[in-house]
Structure 1
Amino acid sequence: MTAASGGTGRPTGRPPLTEERKAEIRLEIARAAVDLFVTQGVAATSGEQIGAAVGVSARTVWRYFPSKESCVRPLFSAGIDLIAGCLRQWRPGEALEEIMDREFAVEERLLSVPDRTTVGALVRLTRAEPGLRAIWLQTYDEAEPAFARALAERAGLPADDLRPVIQAAMFNAALRAAVEHHAWHTTEPEPEPDPATAQAELMATLRSALAIAAEGFA
């Protein structure tokens, strides 16, 4: 019996992290990275600083993300994941905006979605930061097959059928254009609106984009 077992025959040390906790850590790192990128720029931000802002080591940061720019990925993908869920639930005859309103009203799901201020600051940074721009575009590229599968299921078509593939590209482009339009054409007012109002403005933009993209769907 070894000392490491504490005399019980069981291993000691911290229990493994749950997937839920890992997701929380990823989101914490993402939010800290955005704050640092906005206040001091991407080039001036290090992995050590990002980790310190969260209370973890730089080694932990690199365990979750391959680069400092990729740290923001959870903030880019959270809203897209919720939209994909809406498309999976969308049935002929239903209004996509109503499903979106219902899904985004679930408080637990909204916890992973960044607020309008964070989204705006982050997307504006992609204009001047090629590394962030690459992550932004890659996130949407990887979301498109999920959109296509959801739309194919809705129409009773194979996942690789051309129609849902093109429809998914339409939705993908509409969402990206809506978020960029909102970020690049909205200046931060003084004083800032309350979080609920700010979030409602972003949601209204996304609803409009989805409604336009959904025109003509049976």
Structure 2
Amino acid sequence: MDTKNKATDDDKGPKLALIKHKILILLVLFAAVGIGMSLTLFLSNKKSQHIIEEKQSLIKEQLKEINDKQKRVEEIQTAISKSLKLTNELKTVFRQGRASYVADDGVVFWFEPRLLMDMNYEEAVLFCETRWSTVAIFRDEIEYEGIIKLIQDEYTPHGLLLVDAWIGLTLNTTTVKVTPTGSFTQWHSAGPTVSNIGDKGLSAVYLLVSSGQFGMGMLNQRPDENCFTVICQI
């Protein structure tokens, strides 16, 4: 009987050892799986964190770019404001001692009454440019009529019956089209002078003003011919 029990105990020993070994293996596997999952989760979190940091960095760059653009816009607006202020100051200065007409939008048309007919078109352009102005271009009949009256008021006291003044239009004598396109024109009854052979020499346009109500309007001639004065605008 004892021998039989002993044999049974001897059989249990290896079985228990095997079970323990299997349990150990399972524990190791569970531990490995846990570590693997933890590592995967860690790497995943780290990758997500990296993506988040990249997006945050991109957002910061975009915000900086927006702020820089806003700053540039403000600088441009400031420069425009200063330019407009300077322009208005110049307009005020030029109106002092000069014959001038102010349009509704603030454009100032002006000229200096000259009693000698000695200014060609090139000299007229230079005259305006050196005074921060350009040769005038009328945009509508109101401006045209305003300049007519201004010239009459300035020159009539000097006894001049006819006065001519350069303006900023040029004429194609073949097509009878003026530049700039869309500018206001009021031709004299004797004009414009056209040419079938494309004579570009008569391209310069001037304004002829009389002391009365008739004989006024725009005419064209060679730019090397002379007028009394030039109408400038600023």
Q: TM-score range by the shorter chain?
A: under 0.3
- After TM superposition, the score normalised by the length of structure 1 is 0.28
Q: Using CA pairs under 8 Å that are at least 6 residues apart, name the structure with larger relative contact order, 1 or 2.
A: 2
Which entry has the higher C-alpha Rg, 1 or 2?
Answer: 2
Bigger strand fraction: 2
Bigger helix fraction: 1
- After TM superposition, the score normalised by the length of structure 2 is 0.27
